[in-house]
Structure 1
Amino acid sequence: MPALTLATDAATISPLALFLQADIVVKGVMAGLLLASIWTWAIIIGFGVSLGRARKGCAKFENDFWQTEDIDRFYETRAKSDLPSAKVMAAGVAEWRRSTAAKTIDRDGTRDRLATAMSSASAAEIDRLSDRLNILATIGSVAPFVGLFGTVWGIMRAFTSIAAEQNSSLAVVAPGIAEALFATAIGLFAAIPAVIAYNRFSHGINRLEARLNRFADAFYATLSRELEAPR
């Protein structure tokens, strides 16, 4: 008989049982946090793949770019690539062609426009890649408080049950408190991966931004030297 009682108690406080026995408000909190956790992992997987592909693709693209002897031909064949480095190169070449099309070239103005065009392209690509990072930041900061709200609500409900039954035994108090604490646990389950992923991906985005800026600076220097060549 004691073994049967223990098995029953364990089933009563299982995660599924805690969810089913919870108040409608706590159920809503738990369901929302579970959806947030699923959303978090979907973003982590998708963003990780996208960032890794962009980093490797940019490294190969830049290596091929610096090995080419004909920038115009390279531009014609690779300008339509979705890689961030390709977008920076395309912005630089397009501005170069517009600025040098006239008979008289304003060298200082061309340099300024080249720098602005490539800097803007780099910033736009970083914004595009980091678009979903704010979702991770929001989940990481809000989920614990949402879980805490479920905990507070569940504990209030447990105290209400104690007052109604006029019984403060563990058998009466435990289920309500367990439901309440389970809401906090789910909140942390959603928040912790989101915070870790946000910090990790932010570091990766910063490294990629630095790489794009170095590429833009090197390409700018190349075009600047071209401006100094006699025509």
Structure 2
Amino acid sequence: MDRAVDAANLGVAAAGDLSVWGLFMNASLMVKLVMLGLVFCSVMVWAIIFDKIVTLRRINKQASAFEDRFWSGGSLDDLYESDGAKPVHPLAAVFGAAMGEWRRSARIPGVDLVRGGVKERVDRAIGITVTREMDRLRRWVVFLATVGPVAPFVGLFGTVWGIMHSFSAIAAMHNTNLSVVAPGISEALFATAIGLLTAVPSYVAYNVISNSLDLFQDRLEGFGTEFAAILSRQSEERA
């Protein structure tokens, strides 16, 4: 009976040692630092994912609402005063940049809106605004691109270091029993597991978010092209 109780106690102790907290606490200092770094990167990855998902939903919703107002046939000057002068989303910023440039050119006395290089300035304003807005939206996405391929190797470094530490302990104890080897190996492999858990969401999120941003950039550029054509027609009508 005593032996059965002792065996049960040993099983509980072993299970406790192989828990997540036990694996972390029993790891060497270097492996702990690797684990903490990977956990920090994982928190950052999920924060970026959440932020980009919310942002993309918001700007697409705002863009759809703005396009409805734009194509409703209302006055472009009124739309500029309400949305373009102080834009709060990328599509309004593109509209505001183009409309602002066109209005400034129209105020210059004696300027030919058709031949005075107005179209080129409007196109340039649209291009610069699209680039600026997309750079702002892509902020921190490069972090996902970096963590995705790097995290598994960082975890592998922690694993190699942990295994080396375990082998050193085995050599010092002159004991190759599985009960001596297993805990150290488990702690080392835990670092690789954290690296994979950090890398997989980062890699998937980078591809999904990058594709969504590319589609939104196409949307901005398409709207800019259409609006530039509208302004060009209005310039020809005024000439």
Q: Distance in 2 between matches of 1:119 and 1:192?
A: 35
Query: Which residue does the alignment assign to 1:132?
Result: 140
Query: What is the alpha-carbon distance in structure 2 between the residues aligned to residue 63 and residue 133 of structure 1?
Result: 30
Among 35, 38, 60, the residue aligned to 1:30: 35
RMSD: 1.2
1:93 to 94, 99, 102: 99
SS, match of residue 107 in structure 2: coil
- Residue aligned with 2:111, SS: coil
**TM (normalized to structure 1)?**
0.96
Aligned length: 231
1:123 and 2:131 aligned: yes
Amino acid at match of 1:104: V
Deviates more, 1:103-112 or 1:72-81: 103-112
Shift of 1:230: 4.1
- Match for residue 41 of structure 1? 46
Counterpart Cα distance in 1 of 2:40 and 2:145: 16
Q: Is the 8 A contact 2:113 2:236 kept in 1?
A: no
Contact 1:68 1:74 (8 Å CA) reproduced = no
Letter of the structure 1 residue corresponding to residue 33 of structure 2: G
Cα distance between partner residues in 1 of 2:203 and 2:9? 42
Structure 1 residue 68 displacement after superposition = 3.5
Q: In the alignment, what sits opposite 2:78?
A: 73
1:71-101 Cα deviation digits (max 9, x unpaired): 0011001121311000000000111012222
Name the SS for the 1:229 alignment partner. Answer: helix
1:176 aligns with 2:184: yes
Secondary structure at the counterpart of residue 82 of structure 1: coil
Per-residue deviation, 1:147: 0.6
Query: Is 2:19 the partner of 1:19?
Result: no
What residue number does 1:199 align with? 207
Q: Structure 1: which 4+ aligned runs deviate by more than 3 Å?
A: none
User: What TM-score does the superposition give when structure 2 sets the normalisation length?
Assistant: 0.93
Mapped contact 1:29–1:146 kept (Cα < 8 A): yes
Conserved 8 A contact 2:98-2:126: yes
Are 2:90 and 1:84 aligned? yes
Q: Which residue identity is paired with 1:89?
A: F
Q: Within the alignment, does 1:55 sit opposite 2:70 as a pair?
A: no
Q: How big is the shift at 1:139?
A: 1.4
Aligned equivalents of 2:129 and 2:111: distance in 1?
A: 26
Counterpart of 2:124, as a letter, is: T
